[in-house]
Amino acid sequence: MNNQGSSTCAWPHPGRNGNAHSSDRVYAVDRWLVHMFLHALGDPALQVCLWDGKEIPLAGSRPGLGMVIHDRAALWRLLTNPLLHFGDDYSAGRIEIEGELVSFLETVYRAMAGSPKFRRVSDPSAYRRNQPHLNSIAGSRQNIHHHYDIGNDFYQLWLDANMQYTCAYFPDPAASLEEAQVAKMDLVCRKLRLQPGQTVVEAGCGWGALARHMAKRYGVTVRAYNISHEQIVHARQRSKAEGLEGQVEYIEDDYRTIKGYYDVFVSVGMLEHVGPDHYQELGAVIDRCLKEQGTGLIHTIGQNSATPMSPWFLQRIFPGSYPPTIREMMALFEPSEFTVLDVENLRLHYAKTCEHWLERFEQNLNRVREMFDERFIRAWRLYLSGCVANFSIGSLQLFQVVFSRSTNNQVPWTRDHLMVSTGKS
Amino acid sequence: MNNQGSSTCAWPHPGRNGNAHSSDRVYAVDRWLVHMFLHALGDPALQVCLWDGKEIPLAGSRPGLGMVIHDRAALWRLLTNPLLHFGDDYSAGRIEIEGELVSFLETVYRAMAGSPKFRRVSDPSAYRRNQPHLNSIAGSRQNIHHHYDIGNDFYQLWLDANMQYTCAYFPDPAASLEEAQVAKMDLVCRKLRLQPGQTVVEAGCGWGALARHMAKRYGVTVRAYNISHEQIVHARQRSKAEGLEGQVEYIEDDYRTIKGYYDVFVSVGMLEHVGPDHYQELGAVIDRCLKEQGTGLIHTIGQNSATPMSPWFLQRIFPGSYPPTIREMMALFEPSEFTVLDVENLRLHYAKTCEHWLERFEQNLNRVREMFDERFIRAWRLYLSGCVANFSIGSLQLFQVVFSRSTNNQVPWTRDHLMVSTGKS
């Protein structure tokens, strides 16, 4: 590639709706539109090829990393709402990526950090931006149904055997996903210092793996809440098959309806779907249900400063979701004077977890194709690749926060209890 | 004690300015004033005895724990500004405590948590309340001089041999203060993963122990800032005596003047004196001086919700001080997109540290008396006892926060590095 004028793409560019004989004047407009689009994203070092095979000359572009825009309408759309339309047009196959999608996205996301339009400046209303609907009880059901109820068979193709759709913990980067998901559950259990006979309430239990693990390995009784019907059905089946029905109860209901009084409150991967408007409400639920000497743990995707999610992500993948900053999370703890005992950031573990998911997803494409169309597959490839990229470049974090009541002096004296695995997989 | 009417105190009540023959009507007013005062504090279960030996009947009071008010004027003052005048009148000997002072204060502080006047409700301007002057460069000098420049000889009487005036880390609760202060330095060094040859900048170095320890035990070069003249003089003497002059440089200047570019930023016990108005300024200093792959650690007293310090504490002991909430601390990190990697709460370690200080202070009273008058001694007894009580009942916290730049992927993979002590005392 050179920067002296138009050239032709070095990579395949089938051409779809474009006109290969466009005039120089039209080409100048296209070139200008590409520049405008990239400039809005902070000028990422990418190659861009048009529908007619022409490559747009771009200063500093990185050979082998770029995009083909297959028609002029897609290019125009990129200017009006770049993130929404990039996602949609990539999903529809009107945009193609040259090079590795994760690297492409990392390059774009890094550039965006320097763009006035997307610079990460903390915005107290970030969580409301681009949201189709927020998380009332009814809104939450709709939002959760959109993502989690699309078929357990699909998730089984690329999650671990225990169906955990949250950040794993790799004691060693080379650990398998299966090992790392068990290690994550044990890490959570050690942080909570579970003792046989204790009672646990879990808010947002997914397919129920943690509740079963706690019951089986640590001898506790768990009541686990979730509003995804498909997940609850699966969780109950597994619990029955494993003979844990007396010890684990799955309740298809919202966290706001939690009843009872427990030694432990735990929530792994739900806070992302709660929304900062409802953190105080969740904090009041915890205050109501946690015993005086109880311990709580919240595991959530987070970010360093309050910035909105992409509209594509919110409309197509995870409506109602928002990864909080630590500042925003404090609304959970401050009104009830909970004490934060421990925060651990597992960001790189989530990058690795998503890499495993993406790899398994790609390995099982034939089976995914039996369930969904190509647009779905491309959307999910973009979503999973975007997760790898966001965790890898540090625009998303993973916080595990342990807390207790401020008056509880039975808190751990040191971190020694974290270091010995008491559960066996 | 009974609650049926006036009785006489079971403990000594020398009587000073009161009238032992006060009429019943006057006594009824005094009784009412005591009730008002205790009610403002949330009705702590205390005995109260007046100057004439009369004990005020109080429902639920705890035998052996209470106060003698030695004159009527002191009782009136307690109503106008209870915390300020309790401190001043206790210091002046016009109020005496029956029972252990720490238990007395714990009882009062616990009750205050339920009082409408003192209930811990987060207040964004809490840090400005009761402050004689905040922390401009000149204000900071004045504030720091007030507390830290009262004589190294005095601090040597009750701090550890290395003169560390911050929370120690007791690997075991039975460890000595000397051991625990060394363990604290090693814990900080492990969290920072110090490597020989690295450069460290320390903001607020006290008498310089951590800087010397890092240089001696971990082979790093340290530039340490402090605006307390007395502390800097002591730190330089020690560094010279230990032959560390080439490795440790003590600079008598404000953190805002820090220059250079370092592998590590560390600050142990300074943030309490910075004030939330200046956190962004401090964050910008860290952003300016920390290398791309650098690591930072801030160790600070904190609290669960933003509540003001007592006016007595701010006027008599630590002007300009304020223990931040985690939410307030985020102003340090968010504007520069720093990533919080690890937060540990060492609250109970600080309760124990203060117990050691108080015990040593009492053991060395004769030598303290050669330096200061009785009012000073009583004020410091109250201050140190108040610290024990506040950490012990959970109204103060101790946060150690480790952070890096958001783009740094060389962060620790697990917490394994925290578990092996690499420094020897």
- Whether B339 sits inside 8 A of A348 (CB atoms) is no
Do B138 and B177 belong together in one domain?
A: yes
Do B106 and B147 belong together in one domain?
A: no
Least confident of A113-117, A275-279, B264-268, B322-326: A113-117
- Averaged over A104-129, what is the pLDDT? 86
Active site residue A387: yes
pLDDT given at position B245 = 92
Residue A415, exposed/middle/buried by CB under 10 A (0-12, 13-18, 19+)? middle
Do A271 and A365 belong together in one domain?
A: yes
- Averaged over B16-38, what is the pLDDT? 76
- Whether A334 sits inside 8 A of B327 (CB atoms) is yes
- Whether B348 sits inside 8 A of A411 (CB atoms) is yes
User: Does the structure show a pLDDT above 90 at A22?
Assistant: no
pLDDT given at position A6 = 54
- Averaged over A214-234, what is the pLDDT? 97
A106 CB neighbours in chain B (<8 A) are none
More confident residue, B138 or B271: B271
Give the residue on B whose Cα is nearest the Cα of A119: B337
The catalytically annotated residue of A9, A49, A167, A387 is: A387
Tell me if A277 sits within 8 A of A271, measured CB to CB: no
Do B53 and B143 belong together in one domain?
A: no
pLDDT given at position A420 = 64
Name the percent of chain A lying above pLDDT 90. Answer: 80
Least confident of A15-24, A135-144, A165-174, B119-128: A15-24
Tell me which of A170, A186, A301, A327 to substitute to probe the interface with B (most B C-beta atoms closer than 10 Å).
Answer: A327
Highest mean pLDDT out of B41-45, B63-67, B190-194: B190-194
B330 CB neighbours in chain A (<8 A) are 325-327
Give pLDDT tens digits for B317-352.
999 999 999 999 999 999 999 999 999 999 999 999
Nearest-CA distance B411 → chain A (Å): 9
Residue B133 lies in a domain: yes
Helix or strand run (H / E) with residue B35: helix B24-40
Quick one: pLDDT band at residue A424, thresholds 50, 70, 90? very low
Give pLDDT tens digits for B197-219.
999 999 999 999 999 999 999 99
Give the residue on A whose Cα is nearest the Cα of B350: A413
- Whether B334 sits inside 8 A of A325 (CB atoms) is yes
- Whether A340 sits inside 8 A of B327 (CB atoms) is no
Tell me which of A340, A347, A395 to substitute to probe the interface with B (most B C-beta atoms closer than 10 Å).
Answer: A340
Do A337 and A301 belong together in one domain?
A: yes
- Averaged over B381-392, what is the pLDDT? 98
- Which CATH number fits the domain that encloses residue A40? 3.30.1050
Nearest to A266 by CA among A351, A316, A322, A209: A209
Helix (H, G, I), strand (E, B) or coil at B217: helix
User: Does the structure show a pLDDT above 60 at A202?
Assistant: yes
- Whether A326 sits inside 8 A of B330 (CB atoms) is yes
A173 CB neighbours in chain B (<8 A) are 413
Quick one: pLDDT band at residue B296, thresholds 50, 70, 90? very high
* Helices B72-80 + B24-40 axis angle, to 10: 30
| Chain B residues with a Cβ under 8 Å from any Cβ in chain A | 113, 120, 122, 170-171, 173, 304-305, 325-327, 330, 333-335, 337-345, 347-348, 392-395, 397, 399, 405-409, 411, 413-415, 418-419
Nearest-CA distance B269 → chain A (Å): 18
Least confident of B111-115, B146-150, B223-227: B146-150
Mean pLDDT rounded to a whole number for chain A = 92
pLDDT given at position A26 = 77
A10 CB contacts (<8 Å, ≥6 apart)? A1, A55, A63
User: Which of these three, A112, A145, A173, is where a domain ends?
Assistant: A112
Quick one: pLDDT band at residue B4, thresholds 50, 70, 90? very low
More confident residue, A80 or A134: A80
User: Does the structure show a pLDDT above 80 at A17?
Assistant: no
A338 CB neighbours in chain B (<8 A) are 304
Do B56 and B187 belong together in one domain?
A: no
Of A343, A394, A414, the CB nearest to B342: A343
Least confident of A64-68, B149-153, B368-372, B380-384: B149-153
A171 CB neighbours in chain B (<8 A) are 414
Do A183 and A261 belong together in one domain?
A: yes
A405 CB neighbours in chain B (<8 A) are 394
Give the residue on B whose Cα is nearest the Cα of A399: B341
Tokens of A252: 């298809």
CA dist A144 and A255 (Å) reads 13
Quick one: pLDDT band at residue B6, thresholds 50, 70, 90? low
pLDDT given at position B422 = 39
Residue B119 lies in a domain: no
**What own/partner pairs with CB < 8 Å and gap ≥ 24 does B169-176 have?**
B169/B346, B169/B349, B170/A413, B170/B349, B170/B352, B171/A414, B173/A413, B173/B352
Residue A117 lies in a domain: no
Do A266 and A348 belong together in one domain?
A: yes
- Averaged over B116-137, what is the pLDDT? 81
Give the residue on B whose Cα is nearest the Cα of A106: B407
pLDDT given at position A13 = 55
Give pLDDT tens digits for A233-266.
999 999 999 999 999 999 999 999 999 999 999 9
Nearest-CA distance A403 → chain B (Å): 10
Q: Which residue has the tokens 């300015």?
A: B17
Residue A21 lies in a domain: yes
Provide the domain count of chain B: 2
pLDDT given at position B25 = 77
More confident residue, A265 or A16: A265
Residue A191, exposed/middle/buried by CB under 10 A (0-12, 13-18, 19+)? buried
- Which CATH number fits the domain that encloses residue A379? 3.40.50.150
pLDDT given at position A422 = 39
- Averaged over A392-416, what is the pLDDT? 97
Give pLDDT tens digits for A287-339.
999 999 999 999 999 999 999 999 999 999 999 999 999 999 999 999 999 99
CA distances from A163 to A153, A267, B422 (A): 10, 16, 40
pLDDT given at position A27 = 85
Residue B88 lies in a domain: yes
Mean pLDDT rounded to a whole number for chain B = 92
Nearest-CA distance A220 → chain B (Å): 26
B406 CB neighbours in chain A (<8 A) are 304, 394-395
- Whether B304 sits inside 8 A of A333 (CB atoms) is yes
B327 CB neighbours in chain A (<8 A) are 326-327, 330, 334
- Whether A326 sits inside 8 A of B325 (CB atoms) is no
A344 CB neighbours in chain B (<8 A) are 341-342, 415
Residue B423 lies in a domain: no
User: Which of these three, A112, A139, A156, is where a domain ends?
Assistant: A112
User: Does the structure show a pLDDT above 60 at A3?
Assistant: no
A vs B, Cβ pairs < 8 A, gives 113
- Whether A418 sits inside 8 A of B414 (CB atoms) is no
- Whether A337 sits inside 8 A of B408 (CB atoms) is no
- Averaged over B223-252, what is the pLDDT? 96
| Chain A residues with a Cβ under 8 Å from any Cβ in chain B | 113, 120, 122, 170-171, 173, 304-305, 325-327, 330, 333-335, 337-345, 347-348, 392-395, 397, 399, 405-409, 411, 413-415, 418-419
User: Does the structure show a pLDDT above 90 at B46?
Assistant: yes
pLDDT given at position B133 = 74
pLDDT given at position B204 = 97
Do B81 and B108 belong together in one domain?
A: yes
DSSP percent split of chain B into helix, strand, coil, nearest 5: 45, 15, 40
Helix (H, G, I), strand (E, B) or coil at B277: helix
Q: Structural domain of residue A56, as residue ranges? A: 7-112
Helix (H, G, I), strand (E, B) or coil at B144: helix
SS (H, E, C) chain A: CCCCCCEECCCCCCCCCCCCCCCHHHHHHHHHHHHHHHHHCCCCCCEEECCCCEEECCCCCCCCCEEEECCHHHHHHHHHCHHHHHHHHHHCCCEEEECCHHHHHHHHHHHHCCCCCCCCCCCCCHHHCCCCCCCCHHHHHHHHHHHHCCCHHHHHCCCCCCCCCCCCCCCCCCCCHHHHHHHHHHHHHHHHCCCCCCEEEEECCCCCHHHHHHHHHHCCEEEEEECCHHHHHHHHHHHHHCCCCCCEEEEECCHHHCCCCEEEEEEECCHHHCCHHHHHHHHHHHHHHEEEEEEEEEEEEECCCCCCCCHHHHHHHCCCCCCCCHHHHHHHHCCCCEEEEEEEECHHHHHHHHHHHHHHHHHCHHHHHHHCCHHHHHHHHHHHHHHHHHHHHCCCEEEEEEEEECCCCCCCCCCHHHCCCCCCC
Least confident of A24-28, A36-40, A397-401: A24-28
Give the residue on A whose Cα is nearest the Cα of B109: A407
User: Which of these three, A112, A142, A160, is where a domain ends?
Assistant: A112
Give the residue on B whose Cα is nearest the Cα of A400: B342
Helix (H, G, I), strand (E, B) or coil at B290: strand
Do A102 and A137 belong together in one domain?
A: no
pLDDT given at position B20 = 46
Nearest-CA distance B322 → chain A (Å): 17
B419 CB neighbours in chain A (<8 A) are 415, 419
Give the residue on A whose Cα is nearest the Cα of B174: A413
Residue B264, exposed/middle/buried by CB under 10 A (0-12, 13-18, 19+)? buried
User: Does the structure show a pLDDT above 50 at B2?
Assistant: no
Tell me if B286 sits within 8 A of B338, measured CB to CB: yes
Do B77 and B158 belong together in one domain?
A: no
Burial pattern B379-409, b for ≥16 Cβ within 10 A else e, equals bbbbbbbbbbbbbbbbbbbbbbbbbbbbebe
**Strand order from edge to edge, sheet including B54-56:** B7-8, B54-56, B47-49, B66-69, B95-98
Task: Give the pairing of strands B338-345 and B397-405.
Answer: antiparallel
Highest mean pLDDT out of A29-43, A179-193, B51-65: A179-193
Nearest-CA distance A158 → chain B (Å): 24
- Averaged over B309-321, what is the pLDDT? 92
Residue A343 lies in a domain: yes
pLDDT given at position B12 = 60
Do B247 and B188 belong together in one domain?
A: yes
- Averaged over A11-18, what is the pLDDT? 52
Residue B118 lies in a domain: no
User: Does the structure show a pLDDT above 70 at A423?
Assistant: no
